[in-house]
């Protein structure tokens, strides 16, 4: 299973690239020109998030260097480590519910401390790939419809997030 | 929101460091991480440009539109009470496809349009809270989300993205031996959390709230 997952991960990107370019050619798209245009937009996006990234990475690193994260992690971790969730994952999961960029700051900090290919690095990678910013999305979308009573939305969102966390713990254990 | 999170990180960090005597480490961290953010952006720029370039081709060749019409049967399953020709279906489909492909910039506009259209759908159904000239008492209570809105939001927050481009970039930057190794487990985890979300929505969606209210009102003889 782990071998198959690794194979699939390695093959998927070239396959997607091939498919998109071939499909574009068949449909007579100026593939190269469009690619350049899109790439330009992509660069603009990255430059646009640079200030956010500087701000949040500084914030997270200050918090970690102060020793506060270890202090907090020590308290939370004693409960969660029994079920295979390392201490660093708890604040990460909570922050991700509010802000994707703040979570990115924590992710990079975990990668720096534990490496990307360790159990916790892999768990972080998978977890961030299968969860969303619940509160942010809900507040923006419901505002568009002027809805104030959201009924069972939050419960559903949190249940699916916990399902993602469970899947991440199991899968990270299999892959690493 | 981020205002408070960020201020909390900085303020608590400095105060805690002052207490525990870690001020020197905080100085290094603050200056070092700012530079690190820039070098991360440089790594990210290449991958993002590649991905966005490919997505532009997919858009122009009609691949994305094709995918959006391809998921119509899925929409009929998830939203059985939205009429087949309703405008909201188009935006929901675009939003889902953009989410699946990881096109953040395309998700939100389509998502917001979808929510507006779903509000219009409630208006067409005659839900008084959604009528501009509706019953004042009903309006005062605030709008209650329709089943379709709940389903749409839960699926959105369950994460639909298949290829975690950002995570691959971060892993590359921090020296992963195989940055793409996350793809397969990420797809499985995303599918699992989305399936749980679908089951939850289907259980909750059995009764439309507005019909229920209407039935209740008629029973008490206050129907319109």
A148-176 tens-digit pLDDT: 889 999 999 999 999 999 999 999 999 88
B42 and B148 fall within a common domain:
no
Domain assignment present for B100:
yes
**B215 and chain A in contact, CB less than 8 A:** no
The residue ranges of DSSP E strands in B124-212, in sequence order, are 143-144
Using CB atoms, pick whichever of A21, A102, A151 lies closest to residue B150: A151
The residue behind tokens 């001020």 is: B23
What does the alpha-carbon distance between residue A94 and residue A87 come to, in Å, rounded to a whole number?
12
**B193 and chain A in contact, CB less than 8 A:** yes
Domain assignment present for B224:
no
Exposed, middle or buried: residue A115 (CB in 10 Å: 0-12, 13-18, 19+)?
middle
Dihedral sign (CA A110, A116, A121, A125): positive
Domain assignment present for B54:
no
pLDDT at B221: 43
- Averaged confidence pLDDT in chain A: 89
The helix-helix angle for B104-125 and B147-157 (nearest 10°) equals 170
B81 and B121 fall within a common domain:
yes
B177 and B131 fall within a common domain:
yes
Tokens read off for A60: 């997270």
pLDDT at B139: 55
B82 and B189 fall within a common domain:
yes
Closest chain B residue by Cα to residue A134: B157
The radius of gyration of chain B from alpha carbons, rounded to an integer in Å, stands at 24
Q: Which residues of B touch A151 (CB under 8 A)?
A: 144-145, 150, 209
Domain assignment present for B198:
yes
ipTM: 0.83
B113 and B154 fall within a common domain:
yes
Contact predicate B130/B123, CB 8 Å: yes
Site from A43, A47, A62, A96 to mutate, B interface, most B CB atoms within 10 angstroms: A62
The 10s digit of each residue's pLDDT in A99-140 is 888 899 999 999 999 999 999 999 999 999 999 989 888 988
Domain assignment present for B5:
yes
Residues contacting B220, CB < 8 A, separation 6+: none
Domain assignment present for B51:
no
B40 and B114 fall within a common domain:
no
In chain A, what are the helix, strand and coil shares in percent, each to the nearest 5? Answer: 85, 0, 15
Judged by average pLDDT, the poorest of A2-16, A23-37, A140-154 is A2-16
The residue behind tokens 């990270």 is: A172
Number of domains in chain B: 2
The 10s digit of each residue's pLDDT in A85-94 is 898 898 899 8
pLDDT at A70: 78
B142 and B207 fall within a common domain:
yes
B124 and B26 fall within a common domain:
no
Using CB atoms, pick whichever of A50, A62, A156 lies closest to residue B26: A62
Mean pLDDT for each 10-residue chunk of chain B (224 residues)? 81 94 92 89 86 91 90 95 91 92 79 92 88 58 88 95 91 93 96 97 83 54 42
B81 and B26 fall within a common domain:
no
Question: In terms of residue numbers, what domain contains B139?
Answer: 62-219
Using CB atoms, pick whichever of A34, A61, A65 lies closest to residue B56: A34
B67 and B42 fall within a common domain:
no
Domain assignment present for B56:
no
Query: What DSSP element (H or E) covers A65?
Result: helix A31-65
The 10s digit of each residue's pLDDT in A41-77 is 889 888 887 888 888 889 888 988 898 877 877 887 8
| Whole-number Cα distances in Å, A163 to A26, A136, B29, B65, B181 | 40, 20, 35, 30, 21
B25 and B100 fall within a common domain:
no
Domain assignment present for B9:
yes
B15 and B85 fall within a common domain:
no
């Amino acid at each position: 299973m782990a071998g198959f997952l690794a194979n699939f991960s390695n093959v998927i990107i070239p396959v997607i690239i091939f498919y998109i370019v071939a499909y574009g050619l068949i449909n007579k798209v100026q593939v190269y020109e469009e690619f350049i245009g899109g790439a330009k937009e992509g660069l603009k996006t990255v430059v646009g998030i640079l200030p956010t990234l500087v701000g949040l990475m500084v914030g997270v690193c200050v918090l970690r260097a102060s020793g506060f994260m270890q202090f907090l992690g020590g308290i939370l971790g004693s409960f969660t480590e029994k079920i295979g969730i390392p201490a660093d994952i708890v604040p990460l999961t909570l922050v991700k519910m509010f802000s994707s960029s703040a979570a990115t700051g924590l992710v990079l900090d975990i990668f720096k401390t534990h490496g990307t290919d360790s159990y916790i690095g892999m768990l972080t990678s998978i977890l961030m790939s299968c969860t969303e910013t619940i509160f942010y999305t809900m507040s923006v979308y419901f505002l568009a419809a002027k809805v104030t009573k959201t009924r069972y939305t939050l419960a559903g969102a949190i249940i699916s997030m916990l399902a993602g966390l469970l899947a991440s713990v199991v899968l990270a254990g299999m892959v690493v | 929101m981020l205002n408070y999170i960020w201020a909390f990180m900085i303020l608590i960090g400095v105060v805690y460091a002052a207490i525990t005597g870690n001020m020197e480490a905080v100085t290094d961290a603050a200056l070092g991480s700012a530079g690190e953010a820039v070098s991360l952006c440089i790594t990210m720029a290449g991958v993002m440009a590649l991905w966005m370039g490919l997505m532009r081709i997919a858009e122009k060749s009609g691949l994305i539109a094709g995918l959006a019409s391809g998921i119509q049967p899925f929409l009929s399953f998830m939203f059985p009470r939205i009429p087949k020709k309703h405008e909201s279906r188009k935006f929901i489909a675009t939003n889902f496809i953009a989410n699946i492909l990881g096109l953040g910039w395309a998700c939100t506009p389509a998502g917001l349009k979808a929510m507006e259209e779903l509000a219009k759908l409630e208006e067409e159904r005659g839900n008084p809270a959604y009528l501009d000239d509706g019953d004042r008492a009903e309006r005062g209570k605030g709008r209650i989300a329709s089943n379709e809105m709940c389903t749409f939001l839960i699926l959105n927050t369950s994460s639909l993205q298949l290829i975690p481009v950002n995570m691959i970039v971060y892993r590359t930057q921090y020296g992963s031996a195989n940055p793409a190794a996350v793809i397969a487990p990420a797809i499985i985890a995303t599918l699992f959390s989305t399936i749980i979300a679908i089951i939850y929505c289907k259980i909750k969606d059995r009764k439309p709230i507005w019909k229920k209210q209407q039935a209740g009102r008629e029973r008490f003889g206050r129907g319109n």
